[in-house]
Amino acid sequence: MAREKMYFIGGLLIGVLMASLFLFYFAPRYATVKSGETLIRQDKWTGQSWRFTDNQWKAIVGQNHDWEKVDSALVKALHIPFADVDAGGAMKLLREKHPILKTLSDEELLERIKTVYSRQILTNMYLDSFLKVEKSGTQQKQ
């Protein structure tokens, strides 16, 4: 009887050890990747992802939207006019006038144009709104 208990305990320990070694080395649950300044952890079993910000892991929520439909709805709602522009010719001319832009790909250049343009528009809108509030405040005091 004592011999069977020893075999059972020995087999149990070996089984637990082999299972833990397998799970630790061959089937890890989480993968952590550093992309630039961002640290991302992904659960391989469920597909969930977290981003490390402010000394804590925050869940990354995936969204599956048809962005073309959303964009077209916004264009209609905001009454944004579309001009028929030769984008290739305009980009070529822009690169000829400003040599520093020659090193950027078309996609990178378009993203920077959007960023700079939207930042300028939003800044102007904010400052204009701020000035209107300030002027109305000074007029009310007088």
Greatest C-alpha distance within the chain: 102
Kindly give, in sequence order, each residue whose CB lies less than 8 Å from that of residue 34, ignoring residues fewer than 6 positions away: 40
What per-residue confidence (pLDDT) applies to 53? 85
Q: Are 112 and 100 in contact (CB under 8 A)?
A: no
pLDDT at residue 142, rounded to an integer = 64
Q: From residue 133, how far is each of 99, 120, 121, 122, 123 by CA, in Å?
A: 42, 20, 18, 16, 15
Give the burial string for 95-113 (b: 16+ CB within 10 Å, else e): beeeeeeeeeeeeebeeee
| pTM exceeds 0.75 for this model | no
Give the three-state DSSP class for 51.
Answer: strand
Q: Mean pLDDT in each 10-residue stretch from start to end of the chain (142 residues)? A: 91 94 81 84 85 87 75 82 78 90 86 88 90 82 66
